[in-house]
Structure 1
Amino acid sequence: MKKVVATAKTIEEAVENALKELKVTRDRVNVQVLEEPSKGLFGLIGAREAKVEVEVKFDPIEHGRAFLADVLQTMNVEAKVEQQQTEDGIRFDIQGTNLGVIIGRRGQTLDALQYLVNVVANRQAEKHVRITLDAENYRVRRKETLEQLADRIAKKAVQMKKHVRLEPMSASERKVIHSFLQNRADVATFSEGEEPHRYIVVAPKEA
């Protein structure tokens, strides 16, 4: 974290000097007074200025975004990251061309990178933040695909009157399936198996 030591005739002036150097606002820093100002003898001899240490507070979102930028640069991926507030937290939208290397097979690379970004962001955070990563609108498109799959499998389970097992999925993808089918009266869903081979079973409900 960035910090500077500044001096001035008063503590407030010293703090202001530090804020200008750090280019941040007062609410983003912690201030420690190192020396109180003193006028000295006759207001001249032994006069001492105020000295403060001003440190920028840890910003989990900023650190997560910086880490993501470093990873993209290391992977030689030319992209920009746009930040959006969501109901669940913060979303980083990675925008660029040929982002397949970032997404990976069925979003596995994107999920792994999202996990690392959250670890870095929350390592020193006072309050946990949740960061979601997306690239080329992949998560929206994948959600639509999974919901279509869920609908087909549910109809198949009802028609065949037997349990239908899906292939192994990540926890986030299983959540999409469960959520999409939870309000249907004709089927029930549950997960079986151990990670990373855990899968969903769609079962018809008895009439």
Structure 2
Amino acid sequence: MTADSPDTAPDPHKEEGRLMFAGECSFIKGAVHLDGVPATAGVEIAFAGRSNVGKSSLVNALTGRKTLAKVSNTPGRTQELNFFQIGPKLTLVDMPGYGFAAAPEAKVNAWTRLIRRYLRSRPQLGRVYVLIDSRHGIKNTDEPILDLLDASAVSYQVVLTKVDQLKAAELEARKDEVRTALSRRPAAYPEILATSSREGEGLAELKSAIARLVSELPSA
């Protein structure tokens, strides 16, 4: 194997991703209606996932800030689209959790409509990162958002969370299972990322993937 082999070549976006998330990060606003969504510059990415899958924890872990995104043990606490500015080129959106939520059905339905309209009206949205609890894999409650992303032709990538709670063999089996489930979905990005907000595992790889996306897409 030579020094130029792809297996040993350094990731050109790893340092770029580190610097991107080590810089200035700030909360822009939360929006409960589409007309309240802010105008943003650069590339926009969004995090989606079942209630309590760890979206807010991952936002905080990526930015190294413990309270940038509010974390709650109560499923469904994130009730709006929360926008964060990550440096000059990236906006990160924390979407309302789907599935079980400690809220009235009417409010849950309103969140669902908001997500649908947001996905279909955001040309600067580069990718949605769909967080899946590695302990459980893709569940029935995940299928509607995957269907919506496919129907909307919005690129998405699965990020497994809480991988510190699995053994190595279990994690590889879960990756294979998820990869098979996504193989027939047209908008799914094939690479699966594995993370642990608590242990920091996989965060550098996720930052690098986001930095690569930002470098490849034209800024709005």
TM over 0.5: no
Higher helix share: 1
TM-score (norm 2): 0.23
Return the structure number with greater strand share: 1
Provide the TM-score with structure 1 as the length reference: 0.24
Q: Which has the larger radius of gyration?
A: 1
More relative contact order, 1 or 2 (CA 8 Å, 6+ apart): 2
